[in-house]
């Protein structure tokens, strides 16, 4: 029985496809931070729909098309992700360098900003080339996929069904915590990425569906906290390689990384409770 709280995965997929087309157009016009972020997020949301549809037995055979679409989307996501990561890193550097910073901190900050801005320009150019080559392929693949799924376009999932799908997907795709190092960066990064995809599955529910929406909010908290930690981790590594471990900027990034990890760990415990 369909209710106002039901999720409609095929309808939602179509909405994401439309949003992706708009995001590509905006990026091609001007790959500014907001446009790039929207492009990257939309590709992830579509991948979330693919993950959910793969769990539903009543969906027509679509694996071949989905795999092709995923491969192409992955190329776009990675290219957009490189630009987005640099945008975030530049913002973090500027946030940690106050007006009255020490000369050494200002010098290191200016050097790192200059290097990352050059990398950002190059990454944005690469993204634009990728979009121009792949725009038609993406549109055709996704439209073919939607045509294949047309017979189940009215498919509806209850809030409880959707909640179970999101929880099960996260549990089944998350590796156990390593015994040797519970703070293993690769493991923590995988948890964050899985939380993001599980969140997108749960967000198929309309706002009136409180249970899956609460679950989506919990996954989002893990995702955001994990992303914040990972951003500082990567930035500390970049600074260490370019400026050295003794740089005050490197030390400041490492300090923020440790603080962010504490927060991330707390959100992971709350989500598991």
Structural domains of the chain ordered from first start: 1-157 (1.40.20.10), 158-273 (no CATH)
Q: How far is CA 202 from CA 53, 130, 225, in A?
A: 13, 30, 18
Given pLDDT bands bounded at 50, 70 and 90, which one contains residue 220?
A: very high
Q: Is-contact 31 23, C-beta < 8 A? A: no
Task: Say yes or no to pLDDT of 273 above 90.
Answer: no
User: What is the phi/psi pair of residue 225, to 5°?
Assistant: -65, -40
Percent pLDDT > 90 in the chain is 85
For 71, counting Cβ atoms within 10 Å of its Cβ (0-12 exposed, 13-18 middle, 19+ buried), the class is exposed
Task: Say yes or no to pLDDT of 76 above 70.
Answer: yes
Angle formed by the axes of helices 63-96 and 248-272, to 10°? Answer: 130
How confident is the model at residue 176, as a pLDDT? Answer: 85
Q: Is-contact 40 193, C-beta < 8 A? A: no
Task: Say yes or no to pLDDT of 249 above 90.
Answer: yes
- pTM (2 d.p.): 0.91
Q: How far is CA 40 from CA 3, 28, 132, 148, in A?
A: 32, 14, 16, 25
| Cα 42 from Cα 196, distance rounded (Å) | 12
Q: CB within 8 A of 151, min separation 6: which ones?
A: 60
| Cα 206 from Cα 7, distance rounded (Å) | 7
Angle formed by the axes of helices 103-148 and 63-96, to 10°? Answer: 160
How confident is the model at residue 3, as a pLDDT? Answer: 66
Given pLDDT bands bounded at 50, 70 and 90, which one contains residue 178?
A: confident
Given pLDDT bands bounded at 50, 70 and 90, which one contains residue 122?
A: very high
Task: Say yes or no to pLDDT of 260 above 80.
Answer: yes
| Cα 124 from Cα 80, distance rounded (Å) | 8
| Cα 63 from Cα 174, distance rounded (Å) | 22
User: What is the phi/psi pair of residue 157, to 5°?
Assistant: -120, 135
Enclosing H/E stretch for 57: none
Enclosing H/E stretch for 81: helix 63-96
Residue 129: other Cβ atoms inside 10 A: 11
How confident is the model at residue 99, as a pLDDT? Answer: 59
Task: Say yes or no to pLDDT of 63 above 80.
Answer: yes
């Amino acid at each position: 029985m369909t209710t106002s709280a039901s999720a409609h995965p095929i309808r939602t997929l179509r909405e994401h496809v439309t949003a992706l087309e708009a995001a590509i157009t905006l990026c091609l016009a001007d790959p500014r931070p907001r446009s790039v972020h929207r492009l990257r997020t939309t590709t992830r949301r579509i991948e979330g729909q693919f993950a959910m549809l793969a769990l539903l037995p009543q969906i027509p055979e679509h694996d071949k098309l989905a795999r092709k679409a995923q491969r192409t989307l992955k190329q776009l996501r990675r290219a957009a992700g490189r630009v987005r990561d640099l945008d975030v890193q530049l913002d973090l550097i500027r946030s940690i360098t106050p007006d009255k910073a020490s000369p050494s901190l200002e010098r290191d900050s200016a050097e790192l900003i200059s290097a990352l801005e050059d990398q950002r320009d190059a990454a944005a150019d690469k993204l634009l080339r990728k979009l121009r080559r792949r725009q038609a392929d993406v549109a055709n693949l996704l439209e073919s996929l939607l045509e294949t799924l047309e017979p189940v376009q009215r498919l509806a999932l209850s809030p409880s069904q959707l909640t179970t799908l999101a929880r099960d997907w996260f549990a089944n795709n998350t590796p156990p915590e390593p015994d040797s190092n519970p703070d293993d960066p690769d493991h923590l990064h995988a948890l964050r990425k899985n939380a993001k995809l599980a969140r997108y599955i749960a967000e198929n529910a309309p706002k009136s569906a409180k249970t899956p929406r609460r679950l989506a909010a919990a996954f989002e908290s893990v995702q955001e906290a994990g992303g914040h930690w990972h951003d500082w981790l990567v930035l500390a590594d970049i600074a260490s390689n370019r400026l050295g471990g003794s740089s005050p900027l490197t030390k400041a990034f490492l300090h923020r990384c440790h603080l962010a990890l504490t927060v991330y760990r707390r959100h992971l415990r709350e989500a598991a409770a």
